[in-house]
Amino acid sequence: MTVTPLDPRSLPPWAGELTSLRHDEPTGTWSVIAVHSTRLGPAVGGTRAMVYPSLPAAVADARRLAGAMTLKVAVAGLPMGGGKSVLALPAARHRLDDATWRRALEVHARHIELLRGTYWTGPDIGTDTADMDVLRRHTTYAFGRAEADGGSGTSAEATAVGVVAAVRAAAREAGHPGLAGLRILVQGLGAVGMRVARAMAAAGARLLVADVDPARVAMAVGLAAAVEVVAPEEVVRTPCDVLVPCAVGGLIDARVARTLPAGAVVGGANNVLADDEAADVLAARGAVVAPDFVANAGGAIHLVGREVLGWSAERVRERAEAIEGTLAEIFADARARGVGSVRAALERAERSLTVEPAA
């Protein structure tokens, strides 16, 4: 098999520190590691496993997500930098046999080990705690292993706690004193999205759900007496008080933002906004935006807090819930200066990158 080298000219400019690629011919898998910043400490970011249309697309995704991680850990006050890795698979994960998948993970682990602690990883879309157990057998630098294997377990719960806190803050900023009776649309019903949907139902919201997996939708329908199912392609056209994207990023570009019928957007997924203009359009229309790198930082708080800083589960939960207060400060700053909340959050992250974080 002939592997065509990646031409750097096929990629947009990037301000990150390092991009490392490794190809495994037997499995046809590319391991891509992007380190955006080590200013505050070793870079941390999950391993995403999926099929990409091309190698440049995989590299671009890793770089984009790594930049978001830099912002996320900076705003969260964690002593880590931002990175991300992707496994660009030759076929969907469920179509790979166990031996192929295990080899892909082992090759990725050795790739991580070559960076000697510059980059640490954890679970992301397409990977879980069992996969982190495999990685840890071949590299020191893997978070999120199963508790039975000495790790801190899944970060999904802490992520969801933070997203729910962000929903409360965004709803309040949009003029709603509580969540009861609000039309809240949760897109993506995976480990985080399902937890968020359950919390919204418990809070008395009018729950709307969307997912490409009918089984997940059926499970969500049982969360409340009346749950409205939205077709995935109709998410950005369905009126709601709060839209909570918890699937893959890039849902809202500038074109979608001009007509999005949502009073608030809370980024449960990474890189929800596909371009910078989308944030400006939403701000001009008066829509409240809880930036994803603030709203979904609970997972990073869990992994770094438990496995680097030695925090208890209770302290991790407190820090995830504190996202509500962080967003309230960001919203207040944005209002006072007449700028959008995304810009205010970005500037807060940039300020954080100039000082040492609190432990």
Is residue 355 over pLDDT 80? no
d(CA 70, CA 67): 5
Are 112 and 119 within 8 A, CB to CB? yes
Dihedral (C-alpha) 316, 322, 326, 327: value to the nearest 10 degrees?
110
Domain ranges of the chain: 8-65+83-149, 156-352
Residue 1 pLDDT: 38
Whether 72 is catalytic is: no
Average pLDDT over residues 38-48: 96
The overall pTM is greater than 0.85: yes
Q: How many CA atoms lie within 13 A of 217 on its CB side?
A: 14
- Look up residue 164 and give its two tokens: 């729910």
- Look up residue 130 and give its two tokens: 């069992």
Residue 57 pLDDT: 94
Report the b/e string of 196-214 with b at 16+ CB within 10 A.
bbbbbbebebbbbbbbeee
d(CA 138, CA 348): 37
Q: Which fold has domain 156-352?
A: Rossmann fold (3.40.50)
Residue 2 pLDDT: 46
d(CA 166, CA 345): 13
Q: Which of 84, 195, 306, 348 is catalytic?
A: 84
Q: Which fold has domain 8-65+83-149?
A: Rossmann fold (3.40.50)
Dihedral (C-alpha) 15, 122, 160, 78: value to the nearest 10 degrees?
-60
